Amino acid sequence: MSMGSTVSSRSELYGQRQRRLIDAIELREPDRLPTILFSHFWVARYSGMTCREAMYDYEGLAAAMRKAVLDLEPDAFQPVHSLVAFGPTMDILDYRQLEWPGHKGLPEDVGFQYLDAPYMMAEEYDDYLLDPTGFMLRTYLPRIAGRLEPLSQLPQYPGVLHTRIIQSMETYARPEVRRALEGLIEAGEEMQKMRAVQSRLIEELKDLGFPVASHGTSHAPFDVAADYLRGSKGAMLDLFRNKDKLLNLLDRLATLIPPAGITAVKAGGGNMIFIPLHWGLDGFMSPKQFTTFFWPQFQKVLLTIIEAGIYPHVLWEGDCTSRLDVIKDVPPGKCVYFFERTDMFKAKQTLRGTVCIRGNVPASMLIAGTPDEVREHCKKLFEVVGDGGGFILDAGVGVPDEAKPENVLAMYQLAKQCVY
Amino acid sequence: MDARGKQLVQQIAEMQEEEAVKLAREMLDAGYDPIQLLAHCREAMEIVGKRYEEGEYFLPELMLAGEMLKAIGDMAKPLIKQDAGGATAGTVVIGTVEGDLHDIGKNIVTFMLEINGFRVVDLGIDVPIRDFVDSIKEHKPQVVGLSGFLTLAFDAMKKTVEAIQEAGLRNNLKIMIGGGQVDETVRNYTGADAFGLNAMDAVSLCKQWMPA
């Protein structure tokens, strides 16, 4: 085969894979069942790296991602650096919202974990609502990163004007503020190193015919309130103790959240966004609480993103079967719902003609099952959920870190045999 | 039950936190028997638990009920001269397994087991295998609950079950696992006796395992 034809067949492959995904999302039958490779640490482990190495060794992780993509040949891949490779940057920042491998006593080969805690106190709702950006810069960043503590001294600009702005420059030369600002630059340079490695990998895999799954991330307003601001306990109690303020916050967040993700996706030249959800599932909230505090505000985020010409991939964590009738209220052919434990057959019944479904080979099967079981399960999913198109095969929340390679290979290989 | 007691039970069960805590304070200030007051709280918790089981209440209500119970308990307990003691439905040692830092599920299970009369020894999160073994020796529970949200918990659960077996403590002990991703495959993999997807599953397993 000549060089020229190889390149053209690779760019054809790239186009084919993109079309396959778009066909599924827009609820047409693609040529065959599409797949996405999404994983946090499995990619690294598959190449014999520890989780710690994955978070610190950019080049090693790029080689691991390349190997996984070439071996599995998914129709799109989620670049893994943006998901895990921020160890050095967190060290610079003295970052406090995560525990990660090899840090503070966690073993070298476990994934990182988010520390659930209140990062905005109940009495700070008004501060946030009055000036979200000021709150994030002067209160939130100092709380979540030791190096950024002095940012609490930043001038309160709405009240600092005219020649006072000139005088306020003094703040930035204070030794502790200077150290924080230098920390921002150091962290920024480190992040650019990581991004450079990831960008090279993305270009390389593009040349080999593999598209990126999504170029940005967004959130549900309630998740931001519960996970990142009030902590899970605080948010749950606020449903009673600070109901009106919480509702105000959720309304503001519905407007504040989308621009960041939309900007990232457009900057990356893509048209898909990833939205992991944490609090929408059955059992956490009552149906009434869900339709008061979760869905309306999240629906607004979804519609804003869709209007910007971007396809949301919404990861509905846990089992969301009882939510299906509510969450089907989105424009048809524009959205992917990525399910973890939701009943896929009921999901197909309810969402057919509206939403493309993605998922959900169970983590337990990929970790403790056999390739035969995986193939059997995938076949069944294709037959029922894949009927008429509108289905993308994936694991429950992406490939779990501990999945057996032979099971993962079985899953991606089987998809290639699922022809429409 | 007297009118104030009845009102207290109702306010707690209806999630009227401010009113309930205020009323409890007033009752204690007026010399109300603190042991009796806590009995009302228990009764209210039974209603809350029942509504949770019936799908009327969810995690936010359990969380708020727990807060009310704690606030009222903190007021009443210092006034009680001696521990009322009393029989328990059984003892459960519970914890989130090594490497996993999640605790919401475990806390809700603990709360529901306590409402149902079990004595629960909660070892917390990221619990070393050794601590489970030591705690079983010390508290002699009928049931051990291993919690874990992450997939890394599967191996930690398996190793914990094996260590319990090796320590010769597996006989006459039931082990249940719970968490976001457990299912029959994981149960089989870990060697546990049963898995549960929510706090009700945990309560009914424990009840079913108690010697008659």
If one compares B89 and A2, the residue with the highest pLDDT of the two is B89
CATH of the domain at B45: 1.10.1240.10
In terms of DSSP bridges, do strands A98-99 and A113-114 run parallel, antiparallel, or are they unpaired?
antiparallel
Q: Are the CB atoms for B148 and B177 separated by under 8 Å?
A: yes
Q: For A370, name the nearest residue in chain B, comparing CA atoms only.
A: B185
Of the partner residues A232, A283, A400, the one whose CB lies closest to the CB of residue B151: A400
Domain count, chain B: 2
The pLDDT score that the predictor gives to residue A2 is: 39
| Contact (CB<8Å) A289/B152 | no
Task: Using alpha carbons, select from B27, A317, A11, B52 the residue that is nearest to residue A3.
Answer: A11
At B10 the pLDDT is: 97
- Are residues B60 and A285, on separate chains, in Cβ contact within 8 Å? yes
- What pLDDT digit, counting tens, does each position of A320-355 carry? 999 999 999 999 999 999 999 999 999 999 999 999
> Average pLDDT for residues A203-221, to the nearest whole number?
97
**pLDDT reading at A111 higher than 70:** yes
Q: Mean pLDDT over all residues of chain A?
A: 96
Indicate if B67 and B97 belong to the same structural domain. Answer: no
Q: B166 lies in a domain? A: yes
Establish if B71 touches chain A: CB-CB under 8 angstroms. no
Q: What is the extent of the structural domain holding B71?
A: 3-79
Q: Does B98 touch chain A (CB under 8 A)?
A: no
Chain-chain contact of B181 with A364 (C-beta, under 8 angstroms): yes
Whether B63 and A233 lie within 8 Å, measured CB to CB:
yes
Inter-chain CB proximity A365 and B155 less than 8 Å? no
What mean pLDDT, rounded, does chain B reach?
93
Task: Report yes or no on B84 lying in a domain.
Answer: no
Whether residues B67 and A237 touch (CB distance < 8 A) is answered with: yes
Q: CA A70, CA A67: separation in Å to the nearest integer? A: 5
Whole-number pLDDT of residue B86: 64
Question: Do A390 and A37 form a contact (C-beta atoms < 8 A)?
Answer: no
For residue B191, tell me if it sits in a domain.
yes
Q: Is residue B140 part of a domain?
A: yes
Q: What is the DSSP letter of B89?
A: S
User: Measured between beta carbons, which residues in chain B are less than 8 angstroms from residue A317?
Assistant: 180
Instruction: Kindly tell me if the per-residue pLDDT of A84 is higher than 50.
Output: yes
Whether residue B120 sits in one domain with residue B179: yes
Which pLDDT band, with edges at 50, 70 and 90, does A5 fall under?
very low
Residue B61 shares a structural domain with residue B21 = yes
Q: Check: CB of residue A342 under 8 Å from CB of residue A324.
A: yes
Residues of A in contact with B104 (CB under 8 A): 116, 232
- B188 within domain boundaries: yes
Shared-domain flag, residues B97 and B50: no
Q: For A15-53, b where at least 16 C-beta lie within 10 A, e where not — what string? A: ebbbebbbbbbebebbebbbbbbbbbbbbbbbbebbbbb
B200 and chain A: CB distance < 8 Å anywhere?
no
Q: Report the amino acid identity of residue A221.
A: P
Look at residue A305 and tell me whether its pLDDT is greater than 50. Answer: yes
Quick one: pLDDT at residue B84?
A: 55
pLDDT (tens digit per residue) in B29-85? 999 999 999 999 989 999 999 999 899 999 999 999 999 998 999 999 888 876 556
Shared domain check, B156 and B54: no
The answer on pLDDT for A4 being more than 50 is: no
Q: Which of A232, A284, A400 has the CB atom closest to B58's CB atom?
A: A284
Same-domain status, B64 and B142: no
How many Å apart are CA A410 and CA A417, to the nearest integer? Answer: 11
| Residue B154 resides in a domain | yes
What DSSP string describes A140-151?
IHHHHBGGGGGG
ipTM of the complex: 0.91
Q: Which of B176, B169, B67 is nearest to A239 (CA)?
A: B67
Evaluate whether residue B85 is within a structural domain.
Answer: no
Specify whether B115 is located in the same domain as B190: yes
pLDDT mean over A144-154: 98
- CA-atom Rg of chain B in angstroms: 18
pLDDT of residue A7: 66
Q: What is the structure's pLDDT at A108?
A: 93
Q: In order of start, what are the domains of chain A with their CATH numbers? A: 3-86+188-417 (3.20.20.210)
For B157-184, write each residue's pLDDT tens digit: 999 999 999 999 999 999 999 988 899 9
Listed range (A92-106, A169-183, A380-394, B67-81) with the worst mean pLDDT: B67-81
Residues B108 and B202 occupy one common structural domain: yes
